[in-house]
Amino acid sequence: MNSSLIAKYNVAGPRYTSYPTVPYWDNNSFSLKRWKASLKKSFDETNSTNGVSLYIHLPFCESMCTFCGCHKRITKNHKVEIPYIESLIAEFKLYKDFLGETPNIKELHIGGGTPTFFKPENITVLLNAISRIGKFSNNCELSFEGHPNNTTKEHLKMFAGFKFTRVSYGVQDYNLKVQKAIHRIQPFENVKKVTEYSRAEGFTSIGHDIIFGLPYQTVEDVINTINKTITLMPERIAFYSYAHVPWIKGNGQRGYNEKDLPTATQKRLQYEKGKQMLLEAGYFEIGMDHFSLSKDSLYQAHKNKKLHRNFMGYTVTNTKVMIGLGASAISDSWYGFAQNEKGVESYKSLVHEGVIPVFRGHILNEEDLIIRKHILNLMCKFETSWNDATLCFNELPDVLIKLKELEKDGLIKIEAKSIYVTEKGKPFVRNVCLPFDRRLQRNKPETQVFSMTV
């Protein structure tokens, strides 16, 4: 990749799991009443047809991984499991009682934290309750995040019994020096073992998460990690850029100095080499940072232009309603976003007072909804258009002017009423989205808020 392009476009920018992005939510005008109204509107429109997605956040981890940007609680006290699960069940019941109809669950993902921190018998209690309060659709996609060091055969048997077919394992990198820096020691043998256990239990879509740009990481480390990974051929690979945001995540990302991180050019070399290896191994590039085998549903959704993106990342299930359960979980009604209390104690307290435990959010206006569609199109399809007059907005001419520079550099192609991201431009898709982000363009932050795009 041209190093001058890296220098030019390596700016701070969102990953666009939502629009507007969280720093630009209008929390002042947000209220629980407005959130519930937006949710009820969307639920009534789509529950009987598209159904809802459900995200469950299990925040506990036994140790701190210093690369992690998730909301978590570090503890070795497993007595926290049952009280937290009781709160999750109570929260979902609050939603059902408010909505007045049984949620038709089309997708369920359990994330963290470390979901496999929880004992299988306790997760069984949770899933049995979820299936009583809601209704799993016949083709429901069920998935969870597993830690290679503590996901047991018992965990996998339990999840398989509930018809889970997808699991993702955090690999990051196999170099011991890198693992020590990020406080995540897990040898290849552990990942190999748990991947084989998953297949034996009938999981048909196994994912490995790999990160480039980590402290002390080199191109050779990425080559080694991907060589080991393709011996196992997981159906999906998430190949992420490390997001170094210590000003947001506090001491968790202060375990090393900026000088220990690869430069932007080195990071991009890591990505380009890793991408080349994955493509040569038979994987297809899906959206941003994701690769899958052709037999996987993620590839099929990409091929049929039905890929969707929300706070759970890329998904094949395009629901308008996503209900997030648990401390810090984010919900999406399409017309609005709401985030739960981040503290476990404050979250549990509100739930047991009978209050849906959101503390901030955003209700989208008409322009937000239009921009959201364009950014989703770019992130999921690498293209967007305004042939439909409802997708036009007042500042579209200004956006096109800003995009001219990207076209000049061969990153996009602008046509009469559409734009397309080129192969050369795919690594810069976040930069292509930036001119559409009207809230950011009108009010650029004085200090860095987002990670770098390259």
d(CA 229, CA 10): 28
| Predicted pLDDT at 387 | 94
Flag whether 335 is marked binding.
Answer: no
Ligand-binding site membership of 170 (annotated):
no
55 labelled ligand-binding: yes
All CATH 3.80.30.20 domain ranges of the chain, comma separated, are: 20-363
Q: Is the pLDDT of residue 184 over 70?
A: yes
Residue 161 annotated as lining a ligand binding site: no
Tokens of residue 32, six digits: 């629980």
- Residue 330, annotated ligand binder? yes
d(CA 344, CA 18): 24
Count other C-beta atoms under 10 Å from residue 172's C-beta: 23
Pair 42, 50: CB distance under 8 Å:
no
Domain limits, CATH 1.10.10.920, in the chain:
366-442
Return the higher-pLDDT residue of 311 and 192: 192
Q: Which CATH number fits domain 20-363: 3.80.30.20, 3.30.70.1350, 3.30.465.10, 2.60.40.10?
A: 3.80.30.20
Q: How far apart are the first and last CA of the chain?
A: 11
Quick one: tokens of 67?
């690369």
Longest dimension (CA), the chain: 61
CA–CA gap between residue 348 and residue 91 (Å, rounded): 9
Which of 435, 439, 438, 440 minimizes the C-alpha distance to 401? Answer: 435
Give the pLDDT confidence of 322-369 residue by residue, as tens digits.
999 999 999 999 999 999 999 999 999 999 999 999 999 999 999 999
Residue 69, annotated as binding a ligand: yes
Q: Residue 209 annotated as binding?
A: yes
- Is 437 labeled as ligand-binding? no
CATH top class, domain 366-442? mainly alpha
**Candidate from 60-69, 219-228, 378-387 with smallest mean pLDDT:** 60-69
- pLDDT score of 246: 58
- Spatial distance between the Cα atoms of 421 and 351, rounded to a whole number of angstroms: 44
Give the mean model confidence (pLDDT) for residues 40-48. Answer: 97
Residue 252 has pLDDT above 70, yes or no: no
Would you say 145 is a known binding-site residue? Answer: yes
Global confidence as pTM? 0.93
What number is the average pLDDT over the span 401-421? 96
Residue 179 has pLDDT above 80, yes or no: yes
207 carries a ligand binding annotation = no
Whether residue 156 has pLDDT greater than 70: yes
